[in-house]
Amino acid sequence: MNLARRRPWTNAFSTEALCTRILERHRDSIRVQKPRLAVANLARIIGATLTLSNKQGFHATTLRQLAEASGLSMGGLYTYIDSKPRLLSMILGEVAATATEVLTAPPDDVRNDAHRHLDWIIATHIRMSEAMQPWFVFAFMEAKSFPPAERQRAIDMEAMTEKIIADVLRQGVASGAFTIDHVRLTASLIKPLLQDWYVKRAKYRKRGTSIDGYIDGVGNFVSAALSSGTRANGRSSARARSRPKQMAHP
């Protein structure tokens, strides 16, 4: 399933679609054979995990609480997960796999234009994190309490996104589109601008900042910082052309 080209995005990033992918990757450890039932119950388990973790933290959440919140018995829960680390691996693995698949598959018409490619990454990352906000918030906010292996996985996820951005920045430097002294540092400075949308979502909602407004704000800020000389007058329209289609947001 190519999420980068699947439409509408709300379907590609729905809990059911993401849990379908989780079932495919963890088929050997999930003892429920009927896919429809397995996906439905995985959605209940992960939905309960994200909700409880947002309220009290993943570390403080017990399997018994997850069973009660998801409406399953303890025995029923154990047919899907045998431990919290297994559950954590499922969630982090899906966030990482989805982000990697989507961000490494730009449309052909932006791939060779560094400005448009970077605009596309900014817009795509923000829209993806909007559609998967509870998942992204979980991976970001709970990382400090993860066991060492999972904490490293969360760090690797952030490094992966920075590398994707850095590769496009190098492309722009090579073509003369960008003037950057430190590519990796610049990529690491852009990444928090993308994270701010889902981590501080309430702040932007209170201010009345729309997702389109935020995408344009970040894009204009980054473009001004990276460009040598005056930008061509067609930049706003180029950004609009490279931006993923509007989708409904949760």
- Rounded alpha-carbon distances, angstroms, from residue 13 to 45, 87, 196: 17, 19, 20
Per-residue pLDDT of the chain in tens (250 residues, 90 and over written 9): 444 444 455 578 999 999 999 999 999 999 998 999 999 999 999 999 999 999 999 989 999 999 999 999 999 999 999 999 889 989 999 999 999 999 999 999 999 999 999 999 999 999 999 999 999 999 888 887 788 888 888 888 889 999 999 999 999 999 999 999 999 999 999 999 999 999 999 999 999 999 999 999 999 999 999 975 433 334 444 444 445 544 333 3
Identify the pLDDT of residue 220.
95
Residue 108 CA to residue 116 CA, distance in Å, equals 11
Residue with tokens 């829209």: 127
Q: Which domains does the chain have, with CATH numbers?
A: 9-90 (no CATH), 94-242 (1.10.357.10)
pTM: 0.84
- pLDDT given at position 228: 53
- How does DSSP assign 186-233, residue by residue? HHHHHHHHHHHHHHTHHHHHHHT--HHHHHHHHHHHHHHHHBSSPPPT
Distant-in-sequence, close-in-space partners of 15: CB < 8 Å, separation ≥ 6: 43, 46, 47
130 beta partners: none
